[in-house]
Amino acid sequence: MPGGAGLPGGAFLFLISALIAAVVGFCASPDPDELSVVMFFGKPVRMEPPGLHFRQPSPIDEVRLPKVTRQNVIAIGMRSSEVTRAFAQYQRKGSR
């Protein structure tokens, strides 16, 4: 037999690519600053810490990865940068 025994080249490459797609589709890996929220048909069911986790395919399980260590700061009533302070001083000097 030409080509030897086993699967033909095209079928082998198809099986390898299907295996890689399945592994990528069934895994979720949040970063250290993220917490994965697993939603089963749109309803949040559990939260998982950072690391490699297995899940069901995309239409059934959906994984959202919010950043949980980021701090959102809104400064109200104060100047937060040197540029703003310099601009305010410039305005005060120009109004005299």
**pTM value?**
0.51
Written as six digits, the tokens of 41 are 């048909």
pLDDT in tens, 41-96: 889 999 988 888 888 887 788 888 888 888 777 778 765 566 666 666 766 765 55
**5 vs 58: which has the higher pLDDT:** 58
pLDDT of residue 79: 56
pLDDT at 87: 66
The C-alpha angle 54, 60, 62, rounded to 5 degrees, equals 65
Task: Judge contact between 54 and 26, C-beta under 8 A.
Answer: yes
Inter-residue contact 29 to 53 (CB < 8 Å): yes
Say what the pLDDT of residue 83 is: 61
Question: Residue 68 corresponds to which tokens in the numbers above?
Answer: 């949980």
Specify burial of residue 93 (Cβ count, 10 A radius: 0-12, 13-18, 19+). Answer: exposed
For tokens 């700061």, what's the residue? 73
